[in-house]
Amino acid sequence: MKVRRRYLALKIELKGNFSSRQIFNVIWNSVLQLYGEYGLSKTGLTFIDYYEKEKIMIIRTVHTAVDNVRAALASITNIDSEPAAIHVLKVSGTLKALRKNLKLSQA
């Protein structure tokens, strides 16, 4: 059976400069804390791209785990003791459509 993926565009609101790796690790740990290792493995969570200027991150997950990932994102309140919030801007079935809709260039 084909794996149906969803791409999430996330708006990162935080003070200070953090690398894409630091931000993705916070998301990863949030899903891990909320759902455990088994739940995390079922999400298929993958980092795709980070637009530093716009502070927009694109991640990929399986279609059945979108709600779980959204819940984990809502639970993030800080990154390295700095207040932070992560908002889902758009969910799409293809990366091309997501970038087109948000008017982002391909990196």
Q: Delimit the domains of the chain by residue range.
A: 5-92
Q: What is the pTM of this model?
A: 0.91
Tell me the pLDDT tens digit for each residue of 3-43: 899 999 999 998 888 899 999 999 999 999 999 999 999 99
Top CATH class of 5-92 equals alpha beta
Instruction: State what percent of residues in the chain have pLDDT above 90.
Output: 79
What is the edge-to-edge ordering of all strands in the sheet holding 5-14?
Answer: 46-51, 56-62, 5-14, 82-92, 78-79
CB-based contact 90:9 (threshold 8 Å): yes
At 37-86, the pLDDT tens digits run 999 999 999 999 999 989 999 999 999 999 999 999 999 999 888 899 99
Query: What is the pLDDT, as a whole number, of residue 107?
Result: 54
Rounded CA-CA distance 19/6 in Å is 23
